[in-house]
Chain A
Amino acid sequence: MVIKTEPFVVNIGPAHPSTHGVFRMRATLDGEVVLDIEPVFGYLHRGIEKLAEERTYTQIIPLTDRLDYLASMSNNLAYVLAVEKLAGIAVPERAEYLRVIMAELQRIASHLIGVGAFLNDCGAFMTPILYMIREREKILDLFEMVCGQRLTYNYMRIGGVSHDIPEEFLPALKKFVDSMPGFIDEYDQLLKENEILLARSKGVGILSREQAINISASGPVLRASGVKWDIRKVDPYSIYDRFGFEVPTGSAGDCYDRYRVRVEEMRQSVRILKQAVEKLPAGEVRSEVSHLVRPPAGEAYGHIEAPRGELGFYLVSDNSIAPYRFHVRAPSLLNLTALREMVVGWKVADVLAIFGSIDICMGEADR
């Protein structure tokens, strides 16, 4: 007897436990095997680029918080760098150090969520992500101490940062920096060598070096494929050239490598934080810049190494108080275009593990 079979289409998302936001994948399945996948974007589109073109340069900073809401500090930093480039504003020394401290704390916080969510997608029942959220909570406490908010910080300003740190911040930060490597070791002990995790992630969802470069992937996704490309090293912004740190890379470009690259980056961030705390100079944190910045006509592109990859802001000014054009180069969106190449041929369970290993944030991808 011949049993007639046919592939069937499953909508994974937009409301699904592990699509990390409202993302939809139209997957064609043959049993468990994924034959084809079609990503559907735009469920979280809020028109932030257009909204920004109707606001002054300072008013846009709170909007950038809402792009990648897991890494608001990095978004703030990328945006103010672009504006400073456009208007030619210098930043005080202490503010530069504070920016680096905040950006690296944010990188740790974001990677904690990224790694935790990936392990959760692999089926570890909430345990790793809850441990990681515990440490993220400590970082959020620090952010709250400095800027009064836990998610949408609105901390960076054009020409510096909004506030100096309170006096209890540095002791708390030192305590955090000292204890964090121990916690990272604990996460590694929990699941790094777990046979089931290895079976689930090693060799799964391979993105080759060429593919990664061709789709212009960036961040941990690119580095896991063996490309040593980190904006902090190749085009140092702010004062990153003053710190010693490694750029961890993977070799295979599979889910496991992406997971390991993120964990190693957390260690490197702790290293940068240690140096920054030691070198932190005294002085002003904000240069004299009016709330209404009016940059000369022209254009500028400022980019940083955000936790998810190269985050860039492209601004065109017509010498008014609002940008004429505001564009975000969102790493999540570009990394997500690699999804189809990675998942075709794998099982349904792998789709979500691979998806989790890209570590996307839909607020940024859909804008």
Chain B
Amino acid sequence: MSLFDPGLNLSAYYPGTLPPEWPGGYWIHWGVFVVIILAFVLLMAMGFIWLERREVGRFQARLGPNRVGPFGVLQPVADAIKVLTKEDIIPAKGDKLVYWLAPVVAFVPVLMVFAVVPFQDGALLADLNIGILYVVAISSVSVVGVFMAGWSSNNKYSLLGAMRAVSQLVSYEIPLGLSILGVVVLAGSLSLNSIVEAQHIPFILLQPLGFLIYMAAAAAEINRTPFDLLEADSEIVAGFHTEYSGMKFALFYLVEYCEVLAVSVIVTTLFLAGWKGPLLPPLLWFLIKVFGVFTVIVWVRATVPRLRVDQVMAFAWKCLLPLALINLLITGIQVLVWPEVLPWAVVFLNLAIMVVLILLWSKFFKLGGGRVEV
């Protein structure tokens, strides 16, 4: 019996991963969803590029792109055409194979994240029972692509960017994972669909601290302000993709926005009850929440300056990591002590705990770093 047998019933091998009954079985389901996800991701990334430029424009008292198409919505298309027709430059002394592979290595994992995201109840490519673990594991592969790009460019700025990328992304994986664990403890499942189903009230209310930690860590993971060190344009020009041009640059640009999309989607799923919502269809609720999260990310980007590299590290290890551990501990205790308690009491308790913890940490936490005697 071959794996490519269309009648293959995978549920015998992976119980719980079976999609709803589709005519034709598993493979057609996969085919349809792969196309849907590709279209969704690329369209949304384009939309995000447009939306971010418009929103940042309005935050900065200007208009943003409004020339191509109505309200400038076709601007990303025009940009894409421009970038694709550019000359593809490979640095003379760069490592050509690695240089060529890097954008691909960075791009593919981001796409793969969307395989486990439920767009509405049960509408997902693969309802893995280890869904969120898969997301964390896969999304950390992109850093390899970033590092490859920085290394193979044979450019000092790129190398600095890659150095920063590796240290920063590896550090922030830990608070990121720990803050997700709080949600997992509450939901009692790793599958994203089950997590959404478990959210009778959005987990942002039960896990306010976890939400903040996740947002901070995710901003660092996807290089958004205030942690956009690896492509800090005022310091190291463009970081790891300084030397990239043409199609390869377009891929990196796309990676950036796909990562934002991935984070928005995962925040929506984990903390904002995913596709759940009254009146409107679930898919619309899902999109509204995704755009809402993205707008907050853009808003932060339009406001705050950038941290320095040692401060970013200190923030991860001295602030986010202990807070995430304490958050996990408190969540665990709450789940053990009051499994059936009224959620609203816990909501206010958790909010109070969050405020106290943040105040305490602000008091005693030191960013460290500073001048080095040379």
Segment of A68-76, A127-135, A156-164, A302-310 engaged in the interface with chain B? A127-135
**Contact status A127-B60, CB under 8 Å:** yes
Contacts of B372 in A (CB 8 A): 33, 345-346
Q: Does B295 contact A (CB under 8 A)?
A: no
CB nearest neighbor in B for A10: B156
Residues 196-212 of A contacting B (Cβ, < 8 Å): 196-197, 199-200, 203-204
Q: Does A123 contact B (CB under 8 A)?
A: yes
- Beyond A194-B305, A347-B309, whether A126 also contacts B232 by CB under 8 A is no
Residues 316-355 of A contacting B (Cβ, < 8 Å): 344-350, 352
Q: Does A48 contact B (CB under 8 A)?
A: no
Residues 213-257 of A contacting B (Cβ, < 8 Å): none
**Contact status B61-A131, CB under 8 Å:** yes
Segment of A114-122, A268-276, A281-289 engaged in the interface with chain B? A114-122
**Contact status A348-B160, CB under 8 Å:** yes
Contacts of B302 in A (CB 8 A): 125, 127
Contacts of A191 in B (CB 8 A): 305
Q: Does B121 contact A (CB under 8 A)?
A: no
The interface bits of chain A over 293-313 (1 if a CB of B lies within 8 angstroms of the residue's CB, else 0) are: 000000000000000000000
**Contact status A194-B304, CB under 8 Å:** yes
Contacts of B370 in A (CB 8 A): 203-204
Complex-state Cα separation, A203 to B308, whole angstroms: 13
Complex-state Cα separation, A36 to B56, whole angstroms: 37
Quote the shortest CB–CB distance from A302 to chain B (angstroms): 36
Complex-state Cα separation, A231 to B61, whole angstroms: 37
- Beyond A16-B237, A17-B237, A32-B160, whether A124 also contacts B305 by CB under 8 A is yes
Residues 222-240 of B contacting A (Cβ, < 8 Å): 225-226, 228-229, 232-237
**Contact status B60-A35, CB under 8 Å:** no
Complex-state Cα separation, A348 to B160, whole angstroms: 10
Interface size on A, residues (CB 8 A): 42
Quote the shortest CB–CB distance from A222 to chain B (angstroms): 21
Of B160, B164, B304, B374, the contact of A345 (CB 8 Å cutoff): B374
Of A34, A197, A352, the contact of B234 (CB 8 Å cutoff): A352
**Contact status A349-B237, CB under 8 Å:** no
**Contact status B156-A123, CB under 8 Å:** no
Quote the shortest CB–CB distance from A208 to chain B (angstroms): 13
Quote the shortest CB–CB distance from B317 to chain A (angstroms): 16
**Contact status A18-B305, CB under 8 Å:** no
Complex-state Cα separation, A124 to B236, whole angstroms: 15
Q: Does B157 contact A (CB under 8 A)?
A: yes
Contacts of B62 in A (CB 8 A): 130
Complex-state Cα separation, A135 to B103, whole angstroms: 42
Residues 157-198 of B contacting A (Cβ, < 8 Å): 157, 160, 163-164
**Contact status A18-B234, CB under 8 Å:** yes
19 pairs of residues in contact across A and B, judged by CB atoms under 8 Å: A29-B160, A30-B374, A31-B163, A121-B234, A123-B225, A123-B232, A124-B303, A124-B304, A126-B56, A126-B60, A127-B60, A131-B60, A199-B307, A199-B367, A345-B371, A347-B369, A349-B306, A349-B309, A352-B234
Enumerate chain B interface residues (CB-CB to A < 8 A). Answer: 56, 59-62, 156-157, 160, 163-164, 225-226, 228-229, 232-237, 301-311, 367, 369-374
